[in-house]
Homo-oligomer: A and B are copies of this chain.
Amino acid sequence: MTQIVSFRNHSTPSGMPPLSVHDLRTGCSTCSMRELCLPVGLDNDDMVRLDQIIRRRRRVPKGHLLYRAGDPFVSLYAIRLGHFKTYQTHREGTQQITGFLMTGEMLGMDAISSEVHQCDAMALEDSEVCEIPFSQLEQLFSEIPTLLRQFHRMMSHEITREQGVMLLLGSMPADQRFAAFLVNLSSRYAVRGFSASSFHLRMGREEIGNYLSLTIESISRLLSKFKKMEILKVDNRTINITDLPRLRRVAAGTETI
């Protein structure tokens, strides 16, 4: 692992072509399940069956909840378009964000065990998801072994991702955490065919701080520090990484500030 932290890594196996704008417009082709099956030799019949299940779409406007903690678990959701955050709520009020998810990533896997959703999932912008009824998916597993295998990879990948966050929260100082966060976003946008160096933050400083267990003030100070170091330019929520290699070194702890 050259990159120690891997927040929510893209769910796409490496080697997969990045999504094109065309993909974003046609059917459910950005759904994780479908994506994941393309490179592993599902035949056309299988694809059709998969599509029959995941065809249902649902729009979620900015700020609205896709599901909330306590809801019965019925479906997994693959993000077709947009961004989400997942968070758990403590005692009245305090929330802890457990992940930021983008196009092609999957929501709801943590609910399989208890059959109840463990967190809220909120759209950070107007978004659209594919609903995948889990019981139907399970049926399909028996018919399409490849699909099952990919599903296992996704679950396992989520476990690995969370271990990365544990590592980050557990043993990185603030600057390293934040750098790792930015590097992670950058890679995930790159995989999706967007710029790795310039992107728009869909979440506010407060949400970033919450996720990284830092205060909003710390995030702000770190942004200023990175700006001064000429690692990046900031225009409100637009980030422009001017020295990605250095940012990576900061994230890795190789370069102390």
| Chain A residues engaging chain B, CB cutoff 8 angstroms | 4, 88, 90-91, 94, 96, 98, 109-114, 118-119, 138, 141-142, 145, 148-149, 152-160, 162-163, 165-167, 169-171, 213, 252-253
A167 touches B96 (CB 8 A): yes
In the complex, chain B residues whose CB is within 8 Å of the CB of A145? 138, 142
- Chain B residues near A113 (CB-CB < 8 A): 152-157, 159-160
A119, B159: Cβ atoms under 8 Å? no
Partner of A163, one of B118, B156, B171: B118
Dominant SS at the A interface?
Answer: helix
- Report the minimum CB–CB distance from A5 to chain B (whole Å): 11
A253 to B88 Cα, complex, angstroms: 16
Question: Contact: A159 with B159, CB < 8 Å?
Answer: yes
Q: What chain B residues lie within 8 Å of A253 (beta carbons)? A: 90-91
Closest-by-CB residue of B relative to A169 is B169
Instruction: Please name 12 further chain A to chain B contacts, defined as beta carbons within 8 Å, in addition to the given A94-B171, A109-B155, sorted by A numbering.
Output: A90-B253, A110-B160, A111-B156, A112-B155, A113-B152, A138-B145, A142-B145, A155-B155, A159-B162, A162-B162, A162-B163, A170-B213
Complex CA–CA separation, A66 to B238 (angstroms): 46
Q: Is the CB of A110 within 8 A of B166?
A: no
A209–B227 CA distance with the chains assembled, in angstroms = 35
CA distance A17 to B152 in the complex (A): 29
Complex Cα distance A141/B141, Å?
9
Contact present for A110 and B171 (CB under 8 Å): no
Closest residue of B by beta carbon distance from A162: B162
